[in-house]
Amino acid sequence: MTKMTGKEPAPLLPEIARGRLLTVEEVAERLNTTTRFPRRLIEERRIAFVRIGRNVRTPEAALEAFIAAGLVEPITINRGRRAA
C-alpha cells in the first residue's frame, strides 16, 4: 500500500521522449551541421528536447520527426508534348 503524500505521481514521458537521447554534438553530426544549428533549434523550440540538470538532450525520435517534417517530395514532370 502506498502512502498518500498529497503529491500527484510524476507524469510519464511522452512517446517522443523515450528511447536514445542525443547530445547537441550528435545531433549536429547527424544533420551534417555545426553545433550552432541544433542549439538554435532548441533555443527557438523548433525541436523537442529534454533538460537533465544543466545538460540538454534531444530524443532520437524527435530528431527523426524533425527531419521527416522537412522532407520535400520530388515533383514528377510529364515530358510529353504540350498542347498548342
Check which CATH number belongs to the domain holding 30 and give it.
1.10.10
In a domain, 29, yes or no: yes
Q: Measured between alpha carbons, how far apart are the two ends of the chain, in Å? A: 82
Residue 5 falls inside a structural domain: no
Q: What pLDDT score was predicted for residue 79?
A: 75
Q: Is residue 7 part of a domain?
A: no
Distance separating alpha carbons of residues 37 and 31, to the nearest angstrom: 9
Looking at the domain assignment, is residue 84 inside a domain?
no
Chain segment 12-32, per-residue pLDDT in tens = 767 766 789 999 999 999 999
Mean pLDDT of 54-83: 89
Judge whether 35 lies within some domain: yes
**Into how many domains does the chain fold?**
1
Domain with 38, as residue range(s), is 18-69
26 in a structural domain:
yes
Residue 74 domain-assigned (yes or no): no
Show the CA angle centred on residue 33, arms to residues 45 and 31, nearest 5°: 70
